[in-house]
Each structure stands twice: as structure tokens, then as C-alpha cells.
Amino acid sequence: MEIKTEQDWKDIVHRCFRCGYCKFTHEFSDYNCPSYKKHLFETYSTGGRLWLIYGIISGEIPWSQGVANVIYACSTCGNCTENCRFEKFNDFLVDIIEAARAEAVANGFCPEKQKALIERIENQTMFNPYGELNSDNDDLKKEYNLPDEAEWVYFIGCTSNYRQKNLRDATLRFLKKTNIDFTLIDEHCCCSPVMRTGQINSVKDFINYNINQINKTGAKKIITSCAGCYRTLKKDWLKYGFDYGFQVFHTVELVKKLLDDGKIKFNSEYNKTVTYHDPCHLGRHMNLYEIPREVYKSIPGIDFKEMKRNRENAWCCGAGGGVKIGYPEWSLEISKERLDEAKLTGASVISSVCPFCRTNLTDANNKYNMGFEVIDLVEILDELELEISD
Ligand code: SF4
Ligand code: SF4
């Protein structure tokens, strides 16, 4: 089953029987839900939120800003889906929360700060959630001498293109160095931020636009270095009914393939102790856990350390689900907890494969003077000498 229509989630939300398993990771005897851990109030747990939603559906609870604010106080990290023991239901917890947000928006209760996301994305000079003038990527195409048609499109994503340019440029250099036949498009937001916050009215127009841009290049493969774009292109665009004819990869999957095929070898070392933060949208949302680890571990000199909560148990960086824009201080507190955990590994570097994680971990690292180097895997690769074979 997929949560596609309003009726789908309304039909199943009553199945939550408020056992409370979803807010606790028994293996670590700790709360796993950032929202519950912050508020320690049942309504802010997944089960509590679902019962609130049930109350709204049944008409017992009227919509109000207070009710909507509880539904928005969730980073959509998906940790609850791993801990709810109710199989065949647990997959849908985040979908239900997102669907309820769409209902909040339809009833006029989207929180003010999150509204900025849709206002900027729909602004005809922007098309991105950061309020920057739209980059049609033509300058980058010229700088990197990229063709109009190619086998691959690098879908940069708004966070890399407007906030994490170093990550974007490292990806571009990597693709060039490894002789990948790729190009760029004049991309508009993939719509992850507005899907996650229930502001979905123009989502189909944006998907349609991006798919048309991709199709013009003839590309059959898309690469992205962003966990949020990856989930959105690979899962949500299909969920919205678009049957596109290309495959979607995260950069780390391409790196792994090139390593496996012997097309790249490392000719230098990265002599640092590194711990890896699983992005929620790559790990729990897309089940991609081992490939990044295999790539890190293949780098000569690296001392790779796992944090206590890793893979499906990884603690969220705090940025997702509209939490960074809606609750900026809390977002950094969540990130601080991740950095505290990273400290225990003895690592000097915390690395991830998502520009949004990179942003929030960096912000918390700076705010709390944690002393880490926060860097994306692609940026690490960019520092290394690569030997390329055809
Ligand atoms: S979401 Fe699952 S684990 Fe959480 S209270 Fe409901 S049934 Fe229990
Ligand atoms: S998605 Fe994360 S923050 Fe939201 S209810 Fe589930 S565990 Fe809590």
C-alpha cells in the first residue's frame, strides 16, 4: 500500500494503538524521537501525533495553530518507523504526518516560517527555498565545458547550488576527472522542502518542469549528491504519478561502481579519523547504509569510526521536515546531540553525503565550538589524488 490519497492515510491512522514503542530505542535505552525527547510530552511522540490526527479526522479536535504546530514539530527523520513494532503500518508513519501537514495547509494552518519555503519556490525569479535568484546553471555549463546532451544529468539541488557550493564544485570536479559524460539543466527545486511541509499545490508543475528539462538532454541517468533530492526524485516523483524514463543515483553509488570496476584508484592518503553521519533521507528513507561506508573504508589512511547510533538507529542531524526553518534553535540542539555522540568516537572529522546535513552539522559545530571538521565525502575525494582508467 502507498499513501497517495487523503483517504489512504485517513483509513489507516486509527491502527496506531499508542503503545509508545516508536519513541524509544530499546537497544540504547534512550528516546529516539527528537521531538519527544525535546518536549517529553506524549502529544509530541509519533503515537501522540497520530492520535491528534485521528481526533482531527473524526471531528473531535478542531484545527488550530496549536494543533498544527505539534504536527510540524517533527523532522521526518523516520526513526519511529524503525521502532514501531506494528509491521505493515510502521512504513507509513512519516507519510501520515506529511499528509496531515497538507491538510493543515489546506485549512490555513501552515506555520508562518515554513510558508516562506513555498513563497520562495513559487517566486518566478527564484524557484528555490533559499530566496536566491535562480541560477540557470549556464555559467557552470560554460565553466566546465558541458554539452547540451549527455548520458548523465547532475541534478545539483538547491542546497548545494545556493548554500554548499564547495560540495557542488567538488562533485563537478569529480565527474569531470572521472570522464563521466554529463551535463546540467536549468533546474527548479525538486520540491522536497514543500512536500515535507505539506505545501504541495504546485508540486506536479515543478516535477513536470524538471523532467522536461532532463528529457531535453537525452540523459537516462541522474546523479545527485543530496540525500533529500535523491529521495524526492527516486521516490516522491513516482508517488506523484510521474513515470519517467531515467534512473536516479546518489553520487556515492557512482563512486562505489567506479571503484568496483577498477576505474578509479586512490593515489594519496587521507590520514584522519572520520565518523559517518547517515542522512535520514538516504538511510532510513531509502535503505542505503553500506555503500557510503564501503567507500569511506576504501580510502587509504582513513581511520573510520562508527558512532554508537548508526545506520537505521542514527540520530537525526535536525535539519529535515521544515525543522531548520521552523524551529532553528531546536534544530541545532538536535545536531549538537549528534556531534556529542561523534566526539565519543575520537574522530576529528564528521562526514556525510548530504548538503543539508553538512549545513546543520556545520552550524551546530560553529555555535557550540565543537571543533570538528565537517565535510562531505565528495569533498574528501576532491582532496585526494585519483588515478583514472578508461
Ligand atoms: S506509531 Fe506504532 S509504536 Fe508508535 S504508538 Fe502507534 S502503534 Fe505504537
Ligand atoms: S519522524 Fe522522527 S521526529 Fe518525527 S515523529 Fe518520527 S521519530 Fe519523531
Query: Which ligand lies nearest the alpha carbon of 92?
Result: 1
Q: How confident is the model at residue 56 (pLDDT cuts 50, 70, 90)?
A: very high
- Average pLDDT score over residue span 41-60: 94
Distance from the first to the final alpha carbon of the chain: 44
Reported as a single tens digit per residue, the pLDDT across 77-99 is 999 999 998 988 999 999 999 99
pLDDT recorded at residue 277: 98
pLDDT recorded at residue 29: 77
Does 16 contact ligand 1 (Cβ within 6 A)? Answer: yes
Which CATH number applies to 263-388?
3.40.50
- Average pLDDT score over residue span 107-134: 97
pLDDT recorded at residue 1: 66
- Average pLDDT score over residue span 254-258: 98
Flag whether pLDDT at 189 surpasses 70. yes
Mean pLDDT of the chain: 96
Please answer whether residues 23 and 80 qualify as being in contact, where contact means their C-beta atoms are separated by less than 8 angstroms: yes
Burial class of 144 by CB neighbour count within 10 A (0 to 12, 13 to 18, 19+): middle
Reported as a single tens digit per residue, the pLDDT across 152-177 is 999 999 999 999 999 999 999 999 99
Ligand 1 atom at minimum distance from 47 CA: 5
pLDDT recorded at residue 30: 86
Domain boundaries of the chain, sorted by first residue: 6-110, 124-257, 263-388
pLDDT recorded at residue 203: 98
Flag whether pLDDT at 328 surpasses 90. yes
Cβ within 8 Å of residue 174, ≥6 positions away: 251, 255, 378, 381, 382
pLDDT recorded at residue 102: 96
pLDDT recorded at residue 247: 98
Q: Which residues pair with 266 in a beta bridge?
A: 386
- Nearest Cα residue to atom 3 of ligand 2: 74
Does 19 contact ligand 1 (Cβ within 6 A)? Answer: yes
Domain 6-110 matches domain 124-257 at the CATH topology level: no
Flag whether pLDDT at 27 surpasses 80. no
Does 14 contact ligand 1 (Cβ within 6 A)? Answer: no
Q: How far is the CA of 294 from the centre of ligand 2 (A)?
A: 28
Reported as a single tens digit per residue, the pLDDT across 276-318 is 999 999 999 999 999 999 999 999 999 999 999 999 999 999 9
Q: How far is the CA of 333 from the centre of ligand 1 (A)?
A: 25
Q: How far is the CA of 89 from the centre of ligand 1 (A)?
A: 9
In degrees rounded to 5, what are phi and psi of residue 221? Answer: -135, 135
Q: How confident is the model at residue 7 (pLDDT cuts 50, 70, 90)?
A: confident
pLDDT recorded at residue 235: 96
Would you put residue 179 in left (φ > 0), alpha (ψ -120 to 50) or beta? left
Please answer whether residues 191 and 240 qualify as being in contact, where contact means their C-beta atoms are separated by less than 8 angstroms: no
pLDDT recorded at residue 240: 94
pLDDT recorded at residue 312: 95
Q: Which residues pair with 386 in a beta bridge?
A: 266
- The third-level CATH classification (topology) of the domain covering 6-110 is Fumarate Reductase Iron-sulfur Protein; Chain B, domain 2 (1.10.1060)
Q: How far is the CA of 46 from the centre of ligand 1 (A)?
A: 7
Q: Which of 16, 45, 46 to mutate to test the pocket of ligand 2 (most atoms within 8 A of CB)?
A: 46
Flag whether pLDDT at 388 surpasses 90. yes
C-alpha cell at 228: 533529500
Does 12 contact ligand 1 (Cβ within 6 A)? Answer: no
Does 34 contact ligand 2 (Cβ within 6 A)? Answer: yes
Reported as a single tens digit per residue, the pLDDT across 355-379 is 999 999 999 999 999 999 999 999 9
Query: Which ligand lies nearest the alpha carbon of 32?
Result: 2
Which CATH number applies to 124-257?
3.40.50.1860
Identify residue 233 by its one-letter amino acid code: L
Ligand 1 atom at minimum distance from 20 CA: 5
Instruction: For Cα atoms 239, 240, 245, give the angle at the middle one, nearest 5 degrees.
Output: 80
Cell 551546530 belongs to residue: 364
- Average pLDDT score over residue span 260-284: 98
Flag whether pLDDT at 133 surpasses 80. yes
Q: How far is the CA of 83 from the centre of ligand 1 (A)?
A: 8
Q: How confident is the model at residue 225 (pLDDT cuts 50, 70, 90)?
A: very high
Query: Which ligand lies nearest the alpha carbon of 323?
Result: 2
